[in-house]
């Protein structure tokens, strides 16, 4: 039995999906799912990278036990975080988590030395306090000892590929998220590296999605009792893979990859790097097959996940379905938050932060769990409208609707409220967008699909798409006006 495997690592969990083709239809089977919990050590928050590597090997073992020898494997994950490899070829330290506080103040400090217009003009990447450039700057300012010993910088999928194959490669889609890669020149930006006093030797020429990255090293094959399976570079930023899986029919389409983070944008042939894009804090991340993702990060369901964790600590255990039910029962449009306010970035007591935000903006704060959940979900839906309108402005396209992919589409109420807020249809599916896009790139590399559009047709034919038509247009339009004023987005 054959097939291919996508390892899709999210900020809260990871999964190994086996992909097969049957009569032109894509079939996926979950081989392995595992938590991805960050680890607090003293004042620092880390990723448990060796546990993730262990879980990848468990996924390969489960395939073996099913009698499956995959034709290839690919890995995608979140962006910006990295590990440093020492001169002896070993990982120097566990990677920092992007929510770690070591970057506090780093963005402001670096921008006082290198103007934002220079950095954006060279990279086209939005300014987020945890971007790789600011993580490295913070480590420089703190005289982090691993910088002295480092010889290569590898993003999370790069690092895991290295463990598997013994070969160190950077990959294009994740390289662009660092805010150190120049998409116009098609290389790591030498001026920015010089400004941070970072050696160019740390950064390799990036592989493109579909390039071969090596095969499993002999020690891995011996340990697991499997053959040297090829490892394919995919669109290794998980949003890049999710966009590959958008089952669009039009060349100009808008998407929302919805999960812990929400990422909304469109696919373009060239980066949009101008004063308006910088002012709106949009980003131009590398995509598959010569494309770029003109998009904006939105805080997403992280806020709801943190509320759920806090309530569990207090002894109230809810499923997400139960939380949605509570939101349905609460009064509509009572209070709003700006999901991307910095107060909601770090882990902590999220319900209390929401209440404080509402008080500080002159609103009556939500008090019941249902009111808080409704506040979060309505605010997200309204923020989606705001970002969609900006995406249309920057791209020059008017979109007939919005494609939603990712695990967040299992929240059917959020999908419906998003349609209500934008006043356009929402087409939701597939839920495992990143993993399916990962599989698609591997199949394109093998010649199974001729290009990304043939792959998207197969995805459209293989997975159910749910359409949500807009409802209650007047009420949502009035709510949007209040939302933009209260959150100061209208300024």
**Token pair for 29:** 């089977």
DSSP 31-95: EEEEE---EEETTEEE--HHHHHHHHHHHHHHHHHTT---S-EEEEB-SS-EEEEETTSSB-SPP
- Note the pLDDT of residue 402: 98
Q: How far is CA 16 from the centre of its chain?
A: 17
Q: From residue 194, how far is each of 152, 184, 290, 424 by CA, in Å?
A: 16, 18, 27, 47
Q: Determine whether domain 246-429+449-491 maps to CATH 3.10.150.10.
A: no
Residues 6+ apart with CB under 8 A from 237: 76, 77, 78, 79, 173, 174, 176, 177, 285, 286
250 DSSP 8-state letter: S
- The answer to whether the CB of 419 falls within 8 A of the CB of 426 is yes
**The domain 4-232 is classified under which CATH number: 3.30.70.100, 1.10.3720.10, 1.10.8.60, 3.30.420.40?**
3.30.420.40
Write out the chain's pLDDT in tens, 491 residues: 589 999 999 988 999 999 999 998 999 999 999 999 999 999 999 999 999 999 999 999 999 999 999 999 999 999 999 999 999 999 999 999 999 999 999 999 999 999 999 999 999 999 999 999 999 999 999 999 999 999 999 999 999 999 999 999 999 999 999 999 999 999 999 999 999 999 999 999 999 999 999 999 999 999 999 999 999 999 999 999 999 999 999 999 999 999 999 999 999 999 999 999 999 999 999 999 999 999 999 999 999 999 999 999 999 999 999 999 999 999 999 999 999 999 999 999 999 999 999 999 999 999 999 999 999 999 999 999 999 999 999 999 999 999 999 999 999 999 999 999 999 999 999 999 999 999 999 999 999 999 999 999 999 999 999 999 999 999 999 999 999 999 999 87
Q: Which of 354, 312, 352, 314 is nearest to 334 (CA)?
A: 354
- Note the pLDDT of residue 2: 80
Q: Kind and range of the H or E element at 153?
A: strand 150-155
| Angle (CA) 53 56 58, round 5° | 115
Please report, for the chain, the start and end positions of each structural domain, with discontinuous segments joined by +: 4-232, 246-429+449-491
Catalytic residue set: 238
- Note the pLDDT of residue 1: 55
Same fold, 4-232 and 246-429+449-491: yes
**Token pair for 221:** 């094959």
DSSP 160-185: HHHHHHS----BHHHHHTTT-EETTT
Report how far residue 150's alpha carbon sits from residue 482's, in angstroms, rounded to the nearest whole number.
50
**Token pair for 435:** 């993993």
Residue 272: Cβ within 10 Å count:
17
Residues paired with residue 40 on neighbouring β-strands, in sequence order: 45
- Note the pLDDT of residue 43: 94
451 DSSP 8-state letter: S
pTM: 0.94
Residue 213's SS3 state is strand
Report how far residue 28's alpha carbon sits from residue 141's, in angstroms, rounded to the nearest whole number.
46
Report how far residue 377's alpha carbon sits from residue 413's, in angstroms, rounded to the nearest whole number.
9
- The answer to whether the CB of 28 falls within 8 A of the CB of 460 is no
Report how far residue 374's alpha carbon sits from residue 323's, in angstroms, rounded to the nearest whole number.
9
DSSP 295-337: EEEE-TTHHHHHHHHHHHHTT----HHHHHHHHHHSPTTS---
């Amino acid at each position: 039995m054959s097939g291919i495997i996508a390892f899709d690592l999210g900020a809260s969990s990871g999964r190994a999906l086996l992909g097969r083709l049957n009569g032109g239809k894509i079939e996926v089977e979950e081989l392995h799912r595992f938590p991805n919990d960050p680890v607090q050590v003293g004042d620092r928050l880390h990723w448990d990278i060796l546990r993730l590597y262990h879980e990848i090997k468990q996924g390969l073992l489960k395939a073996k036990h099913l009698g499956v020898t995959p034709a290839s494997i690919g890995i995608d994950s979140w962006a910006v975080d990295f590990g440093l490899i020492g001169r002896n070829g070993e990982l120097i330290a566990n990677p920092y988590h992007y929510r770690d506080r070591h970057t506090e103040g780093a963005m402001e400090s670096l921008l006082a030395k290198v103007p934002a217009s220079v950095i954006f003009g060279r990279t086209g990447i939005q300014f987020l306090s945890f971007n790789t450039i600011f993580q490295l700057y913070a480590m420089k300012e703190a005289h982090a000892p691993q910088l002295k010993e480092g010889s290569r910088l590898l993003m999370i999928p790069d690092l895991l590929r290295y463990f598997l194959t013994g070969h160190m490669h950077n990959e294009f889609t994740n390289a662009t998220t660092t805010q150190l890669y120049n998409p116009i020149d098609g290389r790591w930006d030498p001026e920015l590296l010089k400004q941070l006093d970072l050696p160019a030797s740390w950064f390799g020429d990036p592989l493109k999605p579909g390039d071969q990255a090596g095969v499993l090293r002999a020690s891995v094959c011996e340990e697991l009792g499997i053959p040297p399976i090829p490892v394919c570079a995919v669109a290794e930023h998980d949003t890049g893979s999710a966009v590959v899986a958008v089952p669009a029919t039009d060349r100009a389409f808008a998407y929302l990859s919805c999960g812990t983070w929400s990422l909304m944008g469109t696919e373009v042939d060239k980066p949009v790097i101008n004063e308006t894009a910088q002012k709106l804090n949009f980003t131009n991340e590398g995509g598959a097959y010569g494309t770029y993702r003109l998009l904006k990060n939105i805080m997403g369901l992280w806020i709801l996940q943190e509320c759920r964790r806090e309530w569990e600590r207090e002894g109230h255990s809810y499923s997400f379905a139960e939380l949605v039910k509570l939101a349905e029962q609460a009064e509509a449009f009572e209070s709003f938050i700006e999901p991307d306010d910095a107060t909601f970035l770090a882990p902590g007591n999220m319900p209390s932060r929401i209440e404080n935000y509402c008080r500080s903006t002159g609103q009556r704060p939500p008090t019941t769990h249902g009111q808080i959940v409704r506040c979060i979900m309505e605010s997200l839906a309204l923020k989606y409208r705001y970002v969609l309108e900006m995406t249309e402005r920057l791209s020059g396209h008017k979109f007939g609707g919005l494609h939603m992919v990712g695990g967040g589409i299992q929240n059917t109420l959020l999908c419906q409220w998003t349609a209500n807020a934008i006043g356009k249809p929402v087409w939701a599916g597939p839920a495992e967008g990143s993993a399916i896009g990962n599989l698609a790139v591997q199949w394109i590399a093998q010649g199974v699909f001729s290009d990304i559009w043939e792959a998207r047709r197969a995805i459209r034919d293989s997975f159910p798409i749910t359409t949500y038509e807009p409802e209650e247009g007047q009420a949502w339009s009035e709510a949007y006006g209040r939302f933009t004023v209260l959150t100061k987005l209208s300024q």
